[in-house]
Structure 1
Amino acid sequence: MNVAAVAAELRAAAERADHRRMLVLAGGRDAGIDAAFDAVEGADVPNEEVTVVTAREGFRFERVPPEQSDRLLGSTRTVVVCDAHEGFSPNVLGRLVGVVDGGGLFVVLTPPLDSWPAGSFAESLAVPPFGVDAVGDRFRTRVIETIRSHPGIAVVDVDAGEIERRGAADDSPPTRSSPTTPAATVRRFPAAAYEACLTGDQSRTLHALEALSVGRSGPAAVVVEADRGRGKSSAAGLAAGSLAAAGCDVLVTAPERRSAAEVFDRADELLSGLGGLDRCEEGTITTDAGGRIRFREPGAAADLPGDPDAVLVDEAAALPVRRLSAFLDADAVGFFTTVHGYEGAGRGFSVRFAERLADAHHDLTEVSLSEPIRYAPDDPVESWAFRALLLDARPAVDPLVADASPSSVAYCAPTAADLAADEHRLREVFGLLVLAHYRTEPDDLARLLDAPNLRVRTLEHDGHVVSVALLAREGGLDAETRAAMYEGERVRGNMLPDVFTSQLRDEAAGVPVGYRVVRIATHHAARSRGLGSALLARIRAEFDGEVDYLGVGYGATPELLDFWAANGYRTVHVSTTRNDASGEYSALMVDPLSPAGEALARRHARWVRERIPDQLSDQLRDADPDVVRGVLSACPPGDAPDLSDREWRIVVGVAAGPGQYATAPAPFRRLALAALTGAPAEDDGDGPSVGDALEPRAERLLIRKVLQGRPVGEVAAELGYASERTCLRALGSAYAALTDHYGDGLDVVSRERDRFEG
């Protein structure tokens, strides 16, 4: 065995084709590390161009611990060595593949391929009450099979001293496109920006981004989609620099500040070359022309601080649609997103965001980049990563499911083994799950295939997946685990019991067994036909009598709250902080399936009703009133409100006389909460519910003014009342309706009314 010679051969082929090659060193860890040193020597690569990702220490190269491998995203190395013996995960693999430059080597150290044992990642899949022995090995089998069959991957058995594969692949000279500079008469950006482009794709994209320039005919939006490593962030930086050079204020946002580093680097380089750079500080660049480029986190950027001339949203696929929609309030906005790659799923972005873009008043330009920057097209290592990690998974093409309806579909319960054995079905399932969530990672594929707590349920039309739900088993925890959770220990994979126990101090909540709907998605070509609800109904029928409840947790929006409530799920908790990514408060909901599940739902719904009035005037004071309406309407109603005679006199005084709400807000809050949760009156029979008495705007008024305690002027402006007086009259009218419903038949209410109305 001559690892140095194999590495030299691979490196030479990689350089000829401007591709990458992969070298797998399988066997004992120490032998693999020694062989990796030989590979670097044979490849003739300087130490400073080599990074080793390992939990071990003592290397002469840059060393990065596996848990910090994400800091390499956006950078390049000639050789990356990935130690898969410890701290390995699919995410680590997905991150590192893209770090290797054209002409470089990706070296992976693995245990013997025929006996690769469960490692630390397998332990993370063993969520209680399951142990490591319940974790599958289908993902590792998938990786091994692709390693042994894909072009461009050499395999060396370092224990036996044998070369299993030499990694042959096409090493023809690369074919690349050349960037072009539009004529001065048809471009708005400086020629230097086009000269900085590396491919024809990039210069074409930069020209499309000129639609964001000052002087456009109206609002403009540009959507740029690309696979990882195509130069979209560089194009964004060149556009930002060009706009700032012309005096524009450019606001840049991304899920994390480091995601936008390339944007600022390219803008800085361009402005420095143009001689227009005034000052460059962390997160802000200013120009001699009065322009600037500044970064803000998505939550702050959504408010468009300072009224920027243009907004650039990098890695837009990692942000939810509701947050992305806020950026359409800007007159010029660019969205940049990864289609296939570790950072996210741009197809999901384009499908989920398409309707909002179509409804916006922006002239829309869409452009895509397909040619890689770091290496030539048709790179075998990239295609291996797509194949092994399903980075390019997508649902069935639209025509195959366009006629799907609840009556045409079959309910299926494929096991993980079924999915592993059927690549076509696996791709359709995973492709739909990618579209359902704004951030799906390679780890999710391994969980789908190997995690013992997960189940997949589908609706299939003519053999194609049209709707999918991913379910996670939760609860059924022993007393020791429940006690540890109560005392603050995090227990993986048990989200609802964890919240109920650690935050809400309900140690018994870990006893019932439930299935949480982790994700649910319906093919975009068959939406709005009731397929999602049909899938939930079939899941409920299957598990009724087998588990105690079905549950779900998600970033609460009015639409989602309506969907889950319509499918029988009840509110059992609302978070008091917003999710960093979605910007929403999270809601937990439960659909009970047994007496134990009913008892769990009932007591937590009661606790929601008890604490939410105080939360709405404090931590939830900024919550969207339609979210609050949805949360409360999905909360099982409590008893009729119990007001003293004096409190009824105060309420009737506001509803029918000269009384003032501010005199004693407490009874007004109790009535508002009763109305919004649908609490019955004392003698309710088959008559109209309280919900029939209030229009949606009146419900929003109760939330904003009474429960959240917002100033009346602010509430009047937000809800469209002509004046503060009109707003207060509307409040009186709302309480007149509530008095009719909850006070009907009470002597004190009749007497007070007679005084004002008689």
Structure 2
Amino acid sequence: MAERSGYRQLQLLQDASLWREYCEARSESSIYLSNLQTHADAVLSRYRDYLGHEFEQVWIDCHDGLHADAIAALCGTVTAGGLLSILLPAESNAMSHRMERFAAKHFAESNIKPYSSVNKTETRSANETLQLTNEQNSIFNALTQSTAKPCETHIITAERGRGKSTLLGQALAQAKEHSSIIVTAPRKANAKVLLQQAPEAHFVAWDKLLEQPGNSEVTLIIDEAAGLPLWATEQLCQKFNPWLLATTVAGYEGCGRGFAVHFTDWARKTLPQVSVHQLTQPLRWPINDPLEQWLTDTFLMNEQPVTQFGRRESGTFIKHASELEEALLQQCFQLLLSAHYQSSPNDLNLLLTEPGHKLAYQSTNGEVTAVAWLMSEGPILSPLKEEVRQGQRRPKGNLLPQAIGYFLQQDWAMDLHWLRVARIAVPAAKRRRKAASELLAEIYRWALDNNYQMLGTSFAWSPGLDNFWKKNGYALWRLSSRIDSVSARPAAIYALPLTNEFTELYRVCQLLGQWGQNQLQWLSDGKEMLQLTDEHNEIRTSLIQAYRSKTIPFDAAHFALAQWFYWQHSNHPLTELLCNSSTTLKHLGEYWGGVSQRQANENLCKEVCLLH
């Protein structure tokens, strides 16, 4: 059936020896990823290297843990009649059960056995099919006509296997004679098909392109745009003339669906003329391919809004994701995907398999009106606690206690039971109606009832988010001086103690809230704000000692050093430089005659030791 129809097959096995026996007989046109086997083609984390390629068979060893992002991305590289074979984890869990449940559903409907033996099949490469479909041709005509309109930008979204890159390549080949065109992508391999269609095209790595001077005469094409940081895509569009931006809208690298929402909104507000196109017809495999249907259902990639709500309950609920009925789980996850650019299939795996993760949601007659992803963190016990404070260990699943214990040197934070609000989302049509704040209030009550001691959150800082969290009682404790590569904004930590105001914990939390707020004002207003920091001696001393002992880096200690020099060494020649929030180790290196940043840090450490 698979060979005649072109339908792709799925093989799920838990027996490692049997799976590896099958794997040894795999097709020559195949890829094998494993973290455990040295003879594999690559480890699972290198899955992005193979995007833009095509294989008859893809073998993924998940025996030591599922890698949902790799599965979702590489599924799209399997050609018609081919096979995706996955070795499941040694211990079954909610995610592996989900994979098996939807395999039985979709492959039974197509009369294909999900665990059938592996047969080499004749497949048709997308590269061999250059005749455009009606859907492609309609977009192609719009693209080629727009070459005469230098200010028109086209955004093309598609699921994998829809011929997006082939379409771009042919449009590029047609337009090449009209102007200077540059192609970029997260990796050159991502633009492989596009460049094969237009071999004379000039490819430039996106980070190198950002370093070049802007030129509105240069036409820009970005393939797999969701794989770039959103800020980088926006900067490239402002430096050059953006003609085509295309991306896959499900499965990997920041989740293209989130990109489509956020970037399209930005583009329509910023660029002169924007047209959005969508490719829906699969080309690498038949319509209703069971493997694609399995992937969509298993990892909740369906963009269509949920219309069947199941039990029409109303209220606020906090449950583990594995306890939710399918329609409710799909609503919650779709909302998280649409609201957060960096969502991915691995998020669903975490929600279903991590016992300390919960979904808090509000629903009205079964329709979700707000959702939050909650993570239980801490306590971190000795001797691991001291290793975290020294920066030697970073235990997974403990972002807040380990970040506060290390970057702020507050080891008591590692003794506490934290509840982190990892994400919170409200449908666009229901925002500014206090739904998110109402949900946070319910989370506060639930955390109290379940013996948590601290609430917290961490995100890429912005003025709007700062205002929202402060309105809900959370205080800024730390603002990183490093800029996140994806959001182009600093990471921030906010916290809210679950204790009354007469405790020592409350007092320390108040001090940390003042510290964070003063740091924010220092970063925006400069040296003048340091006169408000005299009460911070307790925190300041801990951070300076950690810097002297080379436990924390300069950027983590900079605010403390600025205060210390301001209050204790106002006449020192370094004071003016250190009190400037934009000073970096590069600037300090220039101060010491052009030494390296590493040497500048050494010099500053020695100076602090002499003065302390």
By the TM > 0.5 criterion, same fold? yes
* Distance verdict in 2 for CA 1:479–1:533, change over 3 Å: same
Per-residue CA distance 1:383-425 (angstroms, 9 max, x = gap): 111111222266546x99xxxxxxx972222333421xx1000
Match of 1:30 in 2: 17
Match of 2:607 in 1: none
Question: Of the candidates 537, 544, 547, which is equivalent to residue 452 of structure 2?
Answer: 547
* Distance verdict in 2 for CA 1:353–1:228, change over 3 Å: same
Residues 453 and 472 of structure 1 are in contact (CA less than 8 Å); yes or no, is this contact kept in structure 2?
yes
What one-letter code is carried by the residue in structure 1 that aligns with 2:218?
D
Residues 162 and 281 of structure 2 are in contact (CA less than 8 Å); yes or no, is this contact kept in structure 1?
yes
Question: Of the candidates 281, 284, 289, which is equivalent to residue 374 of structure 1?
Answer: 284
Secondary structure, counterpart of 1:74 in structure 2:
coil
Q: Give the percent of matched residue pairs that are identical in Structure 1 and Structure 2.
A: 24
CA distance in 1, matches of 2:166, 2:50: 17
Match of 1:411 in 2: 316
* Distance verdict in 2 for CA 1:396–1:302, change over 3 Å: farther
What one-letter code is carried by the residue in structure 2 that aligns with 1:413?
I
Match of 1:93 in 2: 71
Secondary structure, counterpart of 2:433 in structure 1:
coil
Match of 1:342 in 2: 252
Match of 1:690 in 2: none
Question: Of the candidates 42, 47, 57, which is equivalent to residue 69 of structure 1?
Answer: 47
CA distance in 1, matches of 2:51, 2:33: 13
* Distance verdict in 2 for CA 1:560–1:315, change over 3 Å: farther
CA distance in 2, matches of 1:640, 1:68: 49
CA distance in 2, matches of 1:394, 1:485: 44
Per-residue CA distance 1:662-682 (angstroms, 9 max, x = gap): xxxxxxx99xx9xxxxxxxxx
Match of 2:195 in 1: 267
Question: Of the candidates 199, 202, 206, which is equivalent to residue 133 of structure 2?
Answer: 199
Question: Of the candidates 270, 286, 294, which is equivalent to residue 360 of structure 1?
Answer: 270
* Distance verdict in 2 for CA 1:319–1:250, change over 3 Å: closer
CA distance in 1, matches of 2:35, 2:264: 43
CA distance in 1, matches of 2:61, 2:534: 61
CA distance in 1, matches of 2:292, 2:326: 19
Question: Of the candidates 154, 165, 173, which is equivalent to residue 113 of structure 2?
Answer: 154
* Distance verdict in 2 for CA 1:470–1:99, change over 3 Å: same
Equivalent runs, 1:625-636 vs 2, <5 Å: 625=524
Match of 1:183 in 2: none
Secondary structure, counterpart of 1:433 in structure 2:
helix
Match of 2:594 in 1: none
The answer on 1:294 being equivalent to 2:204 is: yes
Residues 216 and 241 of structure 2 are in contact (CA less than 8 Å); yes or no, is this contact kept in structure 1?
no
* Distance verdict in 2 for CA 1:296–1:355, change over 3 Å: closer
Residues 73 and 99 of structure 1 are in contact (CA less than 8 Å); yes or no, is this contact kept in structure 2?
yes
What one-letter code is carried by the residue in structure 1 that aligns with 2:191?
V
Equivalent runs, 1:467-478 vs 2, <5 Å: 467-478=370-381
The answer on 1:437 being equivalent to 2:371 is: no
Following superposition, the deviation at residue 437 of structure 1 comes to: 1.6
Following superposition, the deviation at residue 548 of structure 1 comes to: 2.4
CA distance in 2, matches of 1:361, 1:611: 35
Match of 1:524 in 2: 428
Residues 54 and 65 of structure 1 are in contact (CA less than 8 Å); yes or no, is this contact kept in structure 2?
yes
Residues 172 and 198 of structure 2 are in contact (CA less than 8 Å); yes or no, is this contact kept in structure 1?
no
Secondary structure, counterpart of 1:499 in structure 2:
helix
CA distance in 2, matches of 1:410, 1:138: 26
Residues 237 and 262 of structure 1 are in contact (CA less than 8 Å); yes or no, is this contact kept in structure 2?
no
Per-residue CA distance 1:44-68 (angstroms, 9 max, x = gap): xxx5313333345586xx6333343
CA distance in 2, matches of 1:91, 1:346: 12
Match of 2:512 in 1: 604
Following superposition, the deviation at residue 69 of structure 1 comes to: 3.1
What one-letter code is carried by the residue in structure 2 that aligns with 1:146?
F
Structure 1 or 2, whichever has the larger Rg, is 1
Match of 2:440 in 1: 536
Match of 1:460 in 2: 363
Q: Specify every segment of 5 or more residues in structure 1 that has no aligned partner in the other structure, as ranges.
A: 1-12, 41-46, 119-136, 157-164, 180-192, 272-276, 278-284, 286-291, 401-407, 617-624, 642-668, 674-705, 711-758
Equivalent runs, 1:230-245 vs 2, <5 Å: 230-245=162-177
Following superposition, the deviation at residue 468 of structure 1 comes to: 0.5
CA distance in 2, matches of 1:601, 1:210: 60
The answer on 1:565 being equivalent to 2:470 is: yes
Match of 2:405 in 1: 501
CA distance in 1, matches of 2:243, 2:192: 17
CA distance in 1, matches of 2:19, 2:476: 53
CA distance in 2, matches of 1:391, 1:608: 39
Following superposition, the deviation at residue 77 of structure 1 comes to: 1.1
* Distance verdict in 2 for CA 1:211–1:303, change over 3 Å: farther
The answer on 1:390 being equivalent to 2:300 is: yes
* Distance verdict in 2 for CA 1:242–1:295, change over 3 Å: farther
What is the aligned residue count?
529
Match of 1:447 in 2: 350
What one-letter code is carried by the residue in structure 2 that aligns with 1:53?
L
Match of 1:313 in 2: 222
The answer on 1:18 being equivalent to 2:6 is: yes
* Distance verdict in 2 for CA 1:471–1:100, change over 3 Å: same
What one-letter code is carried by the residue in structure 1 that aligns with 2:368?
V
Following superposition, the deviation at residue 29 of structure 1 comes to: 2.2
* Distance verdict in 2 for CA 1:572–1:303, change over 3 Å: farther
Residues 320 and 357 of structure 2 are in contact (CA less than 8 Å); yes or no, is this contact kept in structure 1?
no
Following superposition, the deviation at residue 266 of structure 1 comes to: 2.5
CA distance in 2, matches of 1:231, 1:454: 38
What one-letter code is carried by the residue in structure 2 that aligns with 1:365?
S
Residues 320 and 351 of structure 2 are in contact (CA less than 8 Å); yes or no, is this contact kept in structure 1?
no
Q: Specify every segment of 5 or more residues in structure 2 that has no aligned partner in the other structure, as ranges.
A: 537-561, 567-578, 584-612
Question: Of the candidates 97, 103, 107, which is equivalent to residue 141 of structure 1?
Answer: 97
Residues 249 and 260 of structure 2 are in contact (CA less than 8 Å); yes or no, is this contact kept in structure 1?
no
CA distance in 2, matches of 1:210, 1:95: 30
Following superposition, the deviation at residue 368 of structure 1 comes to: 0.7
Secondary structure, counterpart of 2:297 in structure 1:
helix
CA distance in 2, matches of 1:600, 1:30: 55
Residues 319 and 582 of structure 1 are in contact (CA less than 8 Å); yes or no, is this contact kept in structure 2?
no
Following superposition, the deviation at residue 467 of structure 1 comes to: 0.9
CA distance in 2, matches of 1:318, 1:468: 26
Following superposition, the deviation at residue 469 of structure 1 comes to: 0.5
CA distance in 2, matches of 1:531, 1:327: 36
What one-letter code is carried by the residue in structure 2 that aligns with 1:154?
K
CA distance in 2, matches of 1:639, 1:396: 55
* Distance verdict in 2 for CA 1:315–1:600, change over 3 Å: farther
Question: Of the candidates 149, 170, 178, which is equivalent to residue 246 of structure 1?
Answer: 178
Residues 30 and 57 of structure 2 are in contact (CA less than 8 Å); yes or no, is this contact kept in structure 1?
yes
Residues 162 and 279 of structure 2 are in contact (CA less than 8 Å); yes or no, is this contact kept in structure 1?
yes
Residues 84 and 109 of structure 1 are in contact (CA less than 8 Å); yes or no, is this contact kept in structure 2?
yes
Equivalent runs, 1:173-252 vs 2, <5 Å: 196=130, 198-210=132-144, 212-213=146-147, 215-216=148-149, 219-250=151-182, 252=184
Residues 570 and 591 of structure 1 are in contact (CA less than 8 Å); yes or no, is this contact kept in structure 2?
yes
Secondary structure, counterpart of 1:245 in structure 2:
coil
Following superposition, the deviation at residue 265 of structure 1 comes to: 5.1
* Distance verdict in 2 for CA 1:338–1:513, change over 3 Å: same
Secondary structure, counterpart of 1:141 in structure 2:
helix
Following superposition, the deviation at residue 460 of structure 1 comes to: 1.0
Following superposition, the deviation at residue 709 of structure 1 comes to: 7.4
Secondary structure, counterpart of 1:63 in structure 2:
coil
Equivalent runs, 1:621-660 vs 2, <5 Å: 625=524
Secondary structure, counterpart of 1:586 in structure 2:
strand
* Distance verdict in 2 for CA 1:414–1:102, change over 3 Å: same
